[in-house]
Amino acid sequence: MIPVIALVGRPNVGKSTLFNRLTRSRDALVANFPGLTRDRQYGDAVLEGRRFMLIDTGGITGDEEGIDEAMAQQSLLAIDEADAVVLLLDAKAGLMAADHGLIDHLRGCSKPVFYVANKIDGTDPNIAMAEFYQTGAKQIYPLTATHGKGVRQLVGDVLDLFPDADAAGEGQDQAHGKKIAIVGRPNVGKSTLVNRMLGEERVVVYDQPGTTRDSIYINYERDGEPYTLIDTAGVRKRRSIRETVEKFSIVKTLKAVDDANVVVLVMDARENIVEQDLHLLGQVIDSGRAVVVALNKWDGLSSDQKNRIKTELDRRLRFIDFAEVHFISALHGTGVGHLYESIEKAYASATQSLQTRHLTTILEGAVYDHAPPMINGRRIKLRYAHPGGQNPPIIVIHGNQTDKVPASYTRYLEKIFRRELKMVGTPVRIEYKTADNPYEGKKNKLTKRQVDRKRRLVKFVKKQDKKRKKGK
């Protein structure tokens, strides 16, 4: 499963700078759910093809007195959620009292810790490093977060601790059948829904989580078919101080989404749709997983209220018109059966096998109806399409100038593919390959002249072949 790295350090050491450099999420998920102590940022990141999740504990504000405590709490939660910790120190400022507090704590915890001397630019690295080695750290990584110098070495070494991260994850080897993650804000009714969905079904294995950040994987059978429910609800009946402080974990939610085939996003009809619901939904769509929306607590609402909520829903969820929405009562069990129908449809859509011939026909139809635009006097040409993966379905389109296809045209194609392939409940990804330069991407890139020469040569050889055939 995807490794989680926490960035900690006192204010202003450069955590956010490093976070922004590494994450690719358009808009990082900020933990400001009710019930969370402090804001933290969560981002999806990649380094040389290796994926990981990053937590930034930055952005602490407050009066001088409050800072230490807030920072401590913030950092402790992040450290707890992480698989490895990166501690940033400021080479310009040197060691400060607040650094010692964190260092002491990290010594006592069992997570791997990487010490970093940031802002090494413009200082004498030897002096700064010598001071930091006094902390007893075995290795200090010099870094310039603003320029990215030293980042690859640092993150590469951290990720080397998790060589199997992309292979089957913790959940994966326990899972059987279709994996359904139940996610949503605190208190929307996730665990009530999980109990409802299991109902009378035969539970095969019920796996208790090790920590708050682990989801529960429940294997069961429904109509003789194997399923796994990934339950992200807060841990109940376990009381420790920390859990009363915070029982909702974003890491847990994101990992569950990552590991699932279909995500059921639960929202609370009585609270309407809030910003955090949309953030979560955005994250689910980015992950490419199939999705079903469950508007829970639909019982006991007046028809006026129901109409108002439906109008609001139409407006705010327009950006995922492909997802099916259900109005349910997990408490009474109404609508839960239909939820399964949508889950099945979404799963089937996300994993159906696609044929090159069929995809190309659809592409040709779409282009015929509505041609891609001209760029610099040349029309973008989309020639053929083939499948590139499942869950999410990936459609690879080959053509000329494909790097110039406008986003609006890609959205148009997505819509047509989804319609023609009768896909429900899953995003579709379109990837482009360009045929402008057939030698592109080869190890030794050829110059334009060399390419032209090769093209002429190929033409010449083909002509010769034709002549020879005619002669026969």
Ligand X SMILES: Nc1nc2c(ncn2[C@@H]2O[C@H](COP(=O)(O)OP(=O)(O)OP(=O)(O)O)[C@@H](O)[C@H]2O)c(=O)[nH]1
Could you list the residues that contact ligand X (CB under 6 A)?
Answer: 9, 11-17, 58-60, 118-119, 121-122, 144-146, 184, 186-192, 233-234, 247-248, 296-297, 299, 329-331
Handedness of CA 131, 132, 138, 139 (dihedral sign): negative
Q: Strand, coil or helix: what is 412?
A: helix
* CB closer to ligand X out of 146 and 311: 146
Q: With contact defined as beta carbons under 8 Å apart, do 429 and 396 qualify?
A: no
94 is in an annotated binding site: no
Q: With contact defined as beta carbons under 8 Å apart, do 313 and 262 qualify?
A: no
* CB closer to ligand X out of 263 and 363: 263
| Minimum distance, C-beta of residue 304 to ligand X, in the bound complex (Å) | 17
| Minimum distance, C-beta of residue 123 to ligand X, in the bound complex (Å) | 9
The H-or-E segment that residue 78 falls in is helix 64-81
11 is in an annotated binding site: yes
149 is in an annotated binding site: no
23 is in an annotated binding site: no
* CB closer to ligand X out of 13 and 362: 13
* CB closer to ligand X out of 16 and 410: 16
Tokens of residue 121, six digits: 């630019």
Tokens of residue 251, six digits: 């890491």
Q: With contact defined as beta carbons under 8 Å apart, do 252 and 171 qualify?
A: no
Letter for the amino acid at 75? S
| Minimum distance, C-beta of residue 159 to ligand X, in the bound complex (Å) | 21
Torsion angle, alpha carbons of 411, 413, 418, 419, to 10: 110
93 is in an annotated binding site: no
Question: SS3 breakdown of the chain: % helix, strand, coil, rounded to 5?
Answer: 40, 25, 35
CA distance 219 to 230: 9
Residue 17 sits at the vertex; the CA angle it makes with 15 and 21, to the nearest 5 degrees, is 115
* CB closer to ligand X out of 299 and 364: 299
232 is in an annotated binding site: yes
| Minimum distance, C-beta of residue 401 to ligand X, in the bound complex (Å) | 38
296 is in an annotated binding site: yes
* CB closer to ligand X out of 149 and 445: 149
| Minimum distance, C-beta of residue 32 to ligand X, in the bound complex (Å) | 15
| Minimum distance, C-beta of residue 2 to ligand X, in the bound complex (Å) | 21
* CB closer to ligand X out of 9 and 288: 9
| Minimum distance, C-beta of residue 140 to ligand X, in the bound complex (Å) | 14
DSSP code for 54: E
Q: What is the DSSP string of 92-144?
A: TT---HHHHHHHHHHHTS-S-EEEEEE--TTS-HHHHHHHHHTTT-S-EEE-B
The H-or-E segment that residue 15 falls in is helix 15-22
Letter for the amino acid at 227? Y
16 is in an annotated binding site: yes
Edge-first strand order for the sheet with 394-400 is 381-389, 394-400, 429-434
* CB closer to ligand X out of 313 and 362: 313
Q: With contact defined as beta carbons under 8 Å apart, do 24 and 45 qualify?
A: yes
442 is in an annotated binding site: no
408 is in an annotated binding site: no
| Minimum distance, C-beta of residue 185 to ligand X, in the bound complex (Å) | 7
* CB closer to ligand X out of 259 and 399: 259
| Minimum distance, C-beta of residue 322 to ligand X, in the bound complex (Å) | 25
59 is in an annotated binding site: yes
DSSP code for 23: B
CA distance 208 to 400: 53
Letter for the amino acid at 144? T
Give the residue ranges of the annotated binding site for GTP: 9-16, 56-60, 118-121, 184-191, 231-235, 296-299
Give the residue ranges of the annotated binding site: 9-16, 56-60, 118-121, 184-191, 231-235, 296-299
